[in-house]
Structure 1
Amino acid sequence: MSRPPVNPAQPAFGPEENGEPGAGAGAARAAGAAGAAHSAGARPPGIKIVSLVVVAEALTLLGAAAVYGYQLAIGAPVASFAGAVFTLVLLLGFSAWLFATGLFLFRGYRWTRAAALVAQLFVLTIGVPTLTGGLVLPGLAMVLPALAGIVFLFDKKVIAFASRTGGSAPVL
């Protein structure tokens, strides 16, 4: 659960805590307005699109890991079995990271914008050479969603929505 941002210009205690009744209603409305930005109705379409792109990429990596694992299981020749297992673990780990990024981006957490941007840049570094290497359909299947994700990540509504922090429990 995240807390609304604290304005250092305001006193630490509200008027009700200082003994003034009824003056805290404005603070309650402000906290409610800050929380309303993260309601399900206020979720911009760009968040949904980027989240779907990231989750689709995670599913694609999971499918690639399944095919790769199957190939290892049936005894396909590899130069190094340990290296092949390491590659499989990387595919599974990156897929899990993308699933988490897509889920928490949909919820509006701040850290996910950077993670989603990095993922889209990785996809572009593979998709552009694929596209220019003559594999047009696979290249377009990588480049177009990545470009759409990058464009929507910098949309003002997406930036405003994805500004939620995780909030932490007090230490003491």
Structure 2
Amino acid sequence: MERIYIGMGSNLAAPQQQLRNAIEALAQLPNTTLVGVSAFYQSDSLLPGQPRYTNAVAALDSTLTPLELLDALQAIENDQGRERLERWGPRTLDLDILLLGKRLIDEPRLKVPHYQMHLRAFVLYPLAELAPATLQLPDGRLLSDLLAGCPFVGLERLPQSL
């Protein structure tokens, strides 16, 4: 089993409920154990004019291959009404593989670690709730260093009720 961290986000159709539904779906994946879920955070969209996002990170242990996991995550997104109309558009659910064990993956359909996670407070702070600060990414960077370079600005930690 490998430890996998999944970034979750939603800014349409009851975002907190979308994340709760996604957590339930992640817990049902074959050959996978849901290990933990961070608190929910709210943040502004990266693009102006969109509703605020609700974000969280889930930790899984799984024996699924990277592409099996990606397909499963996209099926969960689709089941929850995800439409891929534009790359940075609003969405009912976005599930991203942030880290997959110590693997570096650079395939047409999948890049791990997630290529912009180091720039996103709404990813790093929830991740830090589940992973030790000494977590080392496959490229050698430490989570603690990424946090130090990404201030807790524009985030609101929400009271969580699963």
User: Could you say which TM-score interval applies, normalised by the shorter chain?
Assistant: under 0.3
TM-score using structure 2 length: 0.25
Greater percentage in strand: 2
Q: Which has the larger radius of gyration?
A: 1
TM-score using structure 1 length: 0.24
